[in-house]
Amino acid sequence: MRRNLMTAFAQAQPNIALVKYWGKRDTTLNLPAAGSLSITLDALWTRTRITFDASLENDSLELNGRQDTRTLPKVSACLDILRQLAGVTCKAQVQTRNNFPTAAGLASSASGFAALVMAASTALNISPDRRFLSTVARQGSGSAARSLYGGFVLMHTGMQDDGSDAFAEPLLEANQWPLEVVVAITTHEQKSVGSGAGMERSRQTSPFHSSWISSVDADLAEATQAINMRDFEALADISEHSCLKMHADMLASRPPLMYWTAATVACIALIRDLRERDGLGVFFTVDAGPQVKAVCLPQDAAQIAAALATVPGVIDVVRSGLGEGASILAPEKAQ
Ligand code: 2P0
């Protein structure tokens, strides 16, 4: 008897938030308490192969060659939504790999769930719009909704209880303002407190959390205006402010969430010097990990990468342009 296999390959790139997401209004549907704004990268990627197979008894997930049972329930939950839409019940084998360190503040869950929903919807031969796919990816990881799109992306808070309006949308294509990002990698270790648990800790214990959440809309408006005007200095100012404000909320949590290391602080100080003393077009942002991302004008990227590589504790420097949203790959690429 012929086995009924449905397979597809997809790729997605991580994104880096300039106006940060830190807090949920609902943990079941993974609804953000506030919006966020990000840029999608091109040099880092997740590639995912999925095969739905009627002979499988369970879903399985292999990440970088190893079974990952910890992430599997969220993967299955996303697949269930798409299976229901397609009217199929068969289980899936998911094989995924990243060309960058997993779970160390480089948003591997963002590219991972974006690639997953892209591959799965193609394998299932359904074609929901990208906006809907972003709501499915969001249920795996809030930041993943943004990686469905390239360039500059806005994530909406949404008002509905079912999360149908908590989706991402593109603001500007990558080539409409081709900034670059230099990532200073300071560890390949996984972070001790994951983002989801960290956000809940901040919501429950940080005295700053509600002010942080209520300040995000104004930051989004300011950042959107800066992007529309291609005003790098204004974007630098609001992005660094959003980053530091989020880390203030993290630090004010109990027990505190301290994601920075000495190398993180040294990179931040250097980036401020490069901008204020040397006049380079660069600003920093830092997520729930110790890596520092320097967002910069393309003509300054080489000098910034060379400078960051000299900081004690920086073990690698990765350069990236801005990239496209999640896409389907030719099968041979995902081997
Ligand atoms: C961001 N982060 O906006 C912020 C900044 C981390 C710090 O989005 O719980 O891994 O899966 O929705 O997507 C990380 O959040 O969290 C994140 P969940 P996710 O990029």
At 333, the pLDDT band (50, 70, 90 cuts) reads low
pLDDT at residue 26 tops 90: yes
Distance 231 CA to ligand 1 centre (A): 26
CA distances to 1, 114, 226 from 46, in Å: 34, 9, 30
At 188, the pLDDT band (50, 70, 90 cuts) reads confident
Per-position DSSP letters for 16-32, written without gaps between them: EEEE----EEETTTTEE
Q: Is the Cβ atom of 196 under 6 angstroms away from ligand 1?
A: yes
Rg (CA), the chain: 19
What atom in ligand 1 is closest to the CA of residue 199? 9
Angle between helices 209-228 and 232-251 (to 10 degrees): 170
Distance 283 CA to ligand 1 centre (A): 20
What's the pLDDT tens digit per position in 32-47? 999 999 999 999 999 9
Distance 89 CA to ligand 1 centre (A): 30
- The residue contributing the CA closest to ligand 1 atom 9 is 196
What atom in ligand 1 is closest to the CA of residue 142? 12
- Phi, then psi, of 263 in degrees rounded to 5: -65, -35
Cβ pair 60, 93 in contact under 8 A: yes
Residue 249 exposed, middle or buried by CB count within 10 Å (0-12, 13-18, 19+) = buried
What's the pLDDT tens digit per position in 56-68? 999 999 999 999 9
* Tokens matching residue 55: 């002979």
Rounded Cα gap, residues 200 and 25, in angstroms:
10
pLDDT for res 179: 98
What's the pLDDT tens digit per position in 66-92? 999 999 999 999 999 999 999 999 999
At 1, the pLDDT band (50, 70, 90 cuts) reads very low
Q: Is the Cβ atom of 287 under 6 angstroms away from ligand 1?
A: yes
Torsion of CA 135, 139, 143, 144, to 10 degrees: -70
Q: Is the Cβ atom of 288 under 6 angstroms away from ligand 1?
A: yes
Q: What's the mean per-residue pLDDT of the chain?
A: 94
pLDDT for res 39: 98
pLDDT for res 100: 77
Rounded Cα gap, residues 37 and 221, in angstroms:
10
Read off the pLDDT of each residue in 151-175 and give the average, rounded to a whole number. 97
Distance 136 CA to ligand 1 centre (A): 15
Rounded Cα gap, residues 295 and 139, in angstroms:
28
Q: Which residues, in sequence order, are bridge partners of residue 251?
A: none
- The residue contributing the CA closest to ligand 1 atom 11 is 141
What's the pLDDT tens digit per position in 91-110? 999 999 998 766 445 778 99
Rounded Cα gap, residues 324 and 210, in angstroms:
34
Q: Which of 219-233, 241-255, 319-333 has the weakest average pLDDT?
A: 319-333
What atom in ligand 1 is closest to the CA of residue 36? 3
Per-position DSSP letters for 238-307, written without gaps between them: HHHHHHHHHHHHHHTSSS------HHHHHHHHHHHHHHHTT---EEEE--SSS-EEEEE-GGGHHHHHHH
What's the pLDDT tens digit per position in 258-314? 999 999 999 999 999 999 999 999 999 999 999 999 999 999 999 999 999 999 999
At 192, the pLDDT band (50, 70, 90 cuts) reads confident
What's the pLDDT tens digit per position in 109-126? 999 999 999 999 999 999
Read off the pLDDT of each residue in 206-231 and give the average, rounded to a whole number. 98
pLDDT for res 189: 77
Q: Is the Cβ atom of 202 under 6 angstroms away from ligand 1?
A: no
What atom in ligand 1 is closest to the CA of residue 16? 20
How many Å separate Cα 228 from the centre of its chain? 22
Distance 143 CA to ligand 1 centre (A): 5
Q: Please state, for a pLDDT cut of 70, what percent of the chain lies above it.
A: 95
Please tell me the pTM assigned to this model: 0.95
Q: Is the Cβ atom of 20 under 6 angstroms away from ligand 1?
A: yes
pLDDT for res 121: 97
Rounded Cα gap, residues 19 and 118, in angstroms:
25
- Provide the 3-class DSSP secondary structure of residue 327: strand
SS3 content of the chain, % helix, strand, coil (to 5): 40, 25, 35
Pocket probe mutation, ligand 1, options 201, 250, 287, 293, max atoms within 8 Å of Cβ: 287
Q: Is the Cβ atom of 142 under 6 angstroms away from ligand 1?
A: yes
- Provide the 3-class DSSP secondary structure of residue 170: strand
Distance 2 CA to ligand 1 centre (A): 42
